[in-house]
């Protein structure tokens, strides 16, 4: 994948890595408030789902501690790459189209009135996170970043496991019909497609920058096993044949 290729070449000071970091900070900065959009679109009587999503939103903003807000933690990593915090978030005109498109997908999904669709997009976001952050943390450790610089990633390795488990629970409790299941599956698949394009974009940038290392890219079709997004007993297990 992109990060494996960067780690293999020892490209800590790469322009492409800085470009990725600035774009990922933009994504982190803007996707967190979108959880509020999802909350506003949930059934007020669905206390379980509201609680799970509210917990994720609370943790995104540092569990009440400003300096622990996730975008602030990621800014430490950017600083280690020479990107000043005052330059963050970057201008929308400097954001890669694939990153913007993924954010647009998330917002549209969270506002959607298609049964199950918003929940599918949310479950994809959490499952891709729990699969991705250990890979990121390992790659950046190989590049020599210290633990304070990597606190964004190590925090997510811990927190995302809980968010993913919570997403599975609310999906099990909420998906009761074929219509809901179809929308849920669509949310998963379209999220996977949009996320894949982000990583393909940065892998292409890495390659065009002259790296001779061709590592497999950790796109969701490889790192994300959608068959395990729901336990086998859940009907989701029959809706993953297109991955």
Task: Kindly report, residue by residue over 96-105, the tens digit of the pLDDT.
Answer: 999 999 999 9
The closest alpha carbon to 183, from 118, 107, 106, 243, belongs to 118
Predicted pLDDT at 224: 39
Kindly report, residue by residue over 26-74, the tens digit of the pLDDT. 999 999 999 999 999 998 998 989 999 999 999 999 998 999 999 999 9
pTM above 0.85, yes or no: no
Confidence of residue 13 (pLDDT cuts 50, 70, 90): low
pLDDT higher than threshold 50 for residue 212: no
Kindly report, residue by residue over 185-201, the tens digit of the pLDDT. 999 999 999 999 999 99
- Calpha distance 130→184 (Å, rounded): 19
Question: CATH homologous superfamily for 2-238?
Answer: Heme oxygenase-like (1.20.910.10)
Predicted pLDDT at 226: 42
Of residues 115 and 243, more confidence is placed in: 115
SS (H, E, C) 64-118: HCHHHCHHHHHHHHHHHCCCCHHHCCCCHHHCCHHHHHHHHHHHHHHHCCCCCHH
Predicted pLDDT at 204: 87
pLDDT higher than threshold 60 for residue 238: no
- Calpha distance 69→97 (Å, rounded): 25
Rounded to the nearest 5 percent, the helix, strand and coil shares of the chain are 75, 0, 25
User: CA of 123: how far to CAs of 60, 94, 184, 192, in Å?
Assistant: 16, 28, 9, 11
pLDDT higher than threshold 50 for residue 242: no
Residue 57 burial by CB count (10 A; 0-12/13-18/19+): exposed, middle or buried?
middle
- Calpha distance 153→169 (Å, rounded): 24
Domain ranges of the chain: 2-238
Kindly report, residue by residue over 126-180, the tens digit of the pLDDT. 999 999 999 999 989 988 999 999 999 999 999 998 899 989 999 988 898 999 9
Predicted pLDDT at 213: 32
Q: Taking all residues of the chain, what is their mean pLDDT, rounded to a whole number?
A: 83
Helix H or strand E encompassing 49: helix 47-60
pLDDT higher than threshold 70 for residue 23: yes
């Amino acid at each position: 994948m992109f990060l494996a290729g960067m780690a293999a070449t020892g490209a800590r000071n790469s322009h492409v890595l800085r470009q990725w970091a600035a774009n990922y900070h933009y994504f982190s900065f803007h996707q967190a408030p979108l959880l509020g959009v999802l909350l506003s679109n949930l059934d007020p009587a669905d206390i379980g789902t509201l609680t799970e999503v509210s917990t994720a939103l609370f943790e995104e903003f540092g569990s009440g501690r400003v300096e622990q807000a996730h975008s602030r933690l990621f800014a430490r990593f950017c600083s280690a790459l020479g990107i000043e915090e005052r330059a963050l978030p970057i201008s929308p005109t400097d954001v890669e189209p694939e990153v913007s498109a993924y954010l647009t997908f998330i917002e549209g999904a969270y506002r959607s009135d298609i049964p199950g669709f918003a929940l599918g997009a949310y479950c994809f976001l959490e499952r891709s996170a729990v699969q991705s952050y250990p890979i990121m943390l390992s790659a950046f450790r190989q590049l020599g970043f210290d633990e304070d610089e990597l606190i964004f990633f190590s925090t997510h390795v811990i927190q995302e496991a809980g968010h993913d488990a919570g997403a599975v629970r609310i999906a099990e409790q909420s998906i009761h019909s074929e219509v809901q299941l179809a929308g849920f599956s669509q949310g998963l698949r379209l999220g996977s497609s949009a996320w894949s394009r982000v990583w393909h974009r940065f892998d292409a940038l890495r390659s065009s920058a002259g790296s001779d290392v061709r590592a497999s890219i950790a796109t969701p079709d490889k790192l994300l096993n959608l068959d395990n997004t729901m336990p086998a007993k859940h009907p989701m297990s029959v809706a993953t044949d297109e991955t």
